[in-house]
Structure 1
Amino acid sequence: MESVIDRACAAALYADGDEGLDVGASLLAADPSADEELHRRGEEFVRRAWSRGWQPADVVRIVRRELDATGAALASALITAETARYGRLPPRWADQLAALPAPEPRNRPDRFTYASALLELYRLLLRLPVIEPVGPPPGTADGLHLPPAHGEPRMLTRIRALLAKAEATGFPEEAEALTTKAQELMARHSIDEALLAARTHAGGTPGACRIGVDAPYESAKAILLDAVASANRCRAVWNSDLGFTTVVGFEPDLEAVELLFTSLLVQGTAAMTKAEAGQRAGGRKRTKTFRQSFLMAYAQRLGSRLAADTARVTAAADTGDRAGRGGEAPAQGLLPVLAARDVAVTDAAERMFPRTTTSRVRGATDAEGWDHGTAAADRASMGGRGPGITR
């Protein structure tokens, strides 16, 4: 059995092209006794991915991007089997595992096709590069001493519900009111957490998470995510080659960034589809430039608005904090606490990414797309009206 698997892997995994895959799949299809060892070999490849900095959602995302949905389902089965061996998993892993696609049944539609798809997946897993870790892998000394995961804070549950309603409503004014309230709660939650940590000397260090930035129009989506991260006191670094952005910040802020970015992207895509339908009804055919310009304007406009709203909420909180202390402004007031957290986040991001580059993105070339994107950002506004962005 070992020799069959070794021969199949040697033929399929270390050479490009389909010929090696066909040879390996033929060997495996002819020997059903090799099935269990074949899947154990796949779990080992998944385990190697953890040691290279990858997490379950990252693996499934890259497999779906480089292969197809079938490959992602096969990866899901391997990930589920591999992670079942740990008594405790790192934070965020439980949510990622719950969101995995349904596993692919074994040997469907036939043994040869299944073995070929599995070997193609193994080839990709073996070639995954080392990336910046955003937490300890399971089974390591750090991973074994992680605190148990707690339920979602009530504030985040409220924010999630508000954003879900904003995505579902067909009335722009209602969506604006809901997202405005959600952003205010996020900003207030972040400030409360910062003050609590300072007053209890809880300390803590910034963490990180990865958020997928998928094609098409990934540059505009990355700009939107960067704007959301900056407004929530985080730093974002986009890896365009692998299709994700790493966000560095304190845990409450990371959770806010994930929630808000996902919601704004849903709202923006819905608004873009509606605006595009109107353009097509008028006889327009250039949809690609319209979409690119729409999403770029949407991201730019929201960046300006989010920054202004964060400053407004922070100023109001600082005024209330001073009033509560009789107008005094000691070293542990709100603004010094937030400044210290900003420095900590910047330092953590620079340690994770000592070498980053700035890239030029494709500009907006469609005036109508830009105007519609700006209007959509206003409808998804996070607070009072901010400065406009011209063409």
Structure 2
Amino acid sequence: MKAPAKLETIRALLAKAEDTRTPEAEAELARKRAFEMMAKYGVEQAMLSDGDPSSDAPGDRQIVLDNPWAMERVRLINRIALALGCQLIHLGRDGDGPARRVHIFGYESDLQRVELLYTSLLLQMNGGLAAQGVPVRSGVRAWRRSWLLGFINRVGDRIEEAERGAREQARTETAVTGRSAALVLADRKAVVERTYRQAYPRARSGGRTTMTGNGYGAGWAAGSRADIGGRRIGRAAFGAISS
């Protein structure tokens, strides 16, 4: 299926930002524009589908997240999914190996955004961690894990902030049905929650993971620098996906 034109534009902007021949000022402008478009895309799709529900129906994905750091990958995609109006449940190990399986519920446009952002941020997270030098006298695994959690929490905060901003900008808009953006988004949230609860009636919400280890601050700072518009969103790094 051909991607929506706006997502193709986002890809083009990010490709420009990634090109080493692009001056840094132009690259930063391209990233900023791509981020703004990604943030508005979810609200726009919600408003459009209120008049044509078949254009953006509720759906779900089961996804296998491989090692290394499979549990941290679960935490990353969970923060993204919740920020973008989806619901996620961690189903535990996938078979006998270390990989983990998650099940995500949401409208198709939001699931697509989750995939784009997770693919991008996973690449950035892995690359950022690989570039770190663990300080002397620090436990290597503990330091790296705290770095990952710092990155994940900061990136999650930034995505949540972006979503709030996009919704605030749309608060005076109305769909073709005459309903406000706030009402449309609230109804979508209720539909996703209901679908999730029907599938997993005994599911419990997990608490947010925090960490104050030595690597946390460095990871948090890296998350502040991460491009949450979807860097390298054309590359495959999402893991096995099944409907």
Report the TM-score when normalising by structure 1.
0.50
Residue 373 in 1 paired to residue 219 in 2?
yes
* CA 361–317 in structure 1, closer or farther in 2 if over 3 Å, else same: closer
Report what 2:83 is aligned to.
231
Q: Which residue of 1 is the match for residue 40 of structure 2?
A: 188
Residue in 2 that maps onto 1:159: 10
Residues in 2 aligned to 1:188 and 1:362: alpha-carbon distance in whole angstroms: 28
CA pair 283-172 structure 1, distance change in 2 beyond 3 A: farther
User: How many Å separate the matches in 2 of 1:191 and 1:363?
Assistant: 30
Matched to 1:273, the amino acid is A
In the other structure, the counterpart of 1:273 is 130
SS at match of 2:127: helix
Per-residue CA deviations over 1:181-224 (Å, capped at 9, x if unaligned) read 33422232221221112134548641001233222322222111
Deviation at 1:271, TM superposition (A): 1.3
- One-letter amino acid matched to 1:260: L
Structure 1 residues 230-282: Cα deviation after superposition (integer angstroms, max 9, x where no partner):
12111111122121221111111111100101101101111111123xx4xx6
Greater helix proportion: 1
Aligned match of 1:300? 153
Aligned to 2:190: 343
CA shift in 2, pair 1:161/1:210, >3 Å = farther
Change (3 A) 1:159 1:203: closer
The structure having more radius of gyration, on CA atoms, is 1
Picking from 248, 251, 254, the partner of 2:108 is: 251
Identity, % of aligned pairs? 30
Counterpart of 2:103 in 1: which secondary structure? strand
For residue 289 of structure 1, report the CA deviation from its aligned partner. 1.4
Ranked by relative contact order (alpha carbons within 8 Å, sequence separation 6 or more), the top structure is 2
Structure 2 CA distance for aligned equivalents of residues 202 and 309 of structure 1: 27
Distance change in 2, residues 1:360/1:229 (3 Å): closer
CA contact (8 A) 2:43 2:166 kept: no
Deviation at 1:342, TM superposition (A): 0.5
Task: Give the stretch that moved more between structures: 165-174 or 199-208.
Answer: 165-174
Q: Which has the higher strand share?
A: 2
| Superposed displacement of residue 160, structure 1 | 3.6
Distance, in Å, in 2 between the alignment partners of 1:233 and 1:370 is 27
Gap regions ≥5 residues in structure 1:
1-149, 384-391
- Unmatched segments (≥5 aa) in structure 2: 95-99, 230-243
In structure 2, what is the equivalent of residue 261 of structure 1?
118
Letter in 1 for 2:221: A
- Which secondary structure state, in structure 1, belongs to the residue aligned with residue 189 of structure 2? helix
CA distance 1:175–1:362, change in 2 (3 Å) = farther
Change (3 A) 1:168 1:373: farther
Equivalent positions of 1:71-220 (< 5 A) are 150-163=1-14, 179-200=31-52, 202=54, 205-220=57-72
1:288 paired to 2:141: yes
Pair 1:204–1:351, CA change in 2 (3 A): farther
Give TM-score scaled by structure 2 length.
0.77
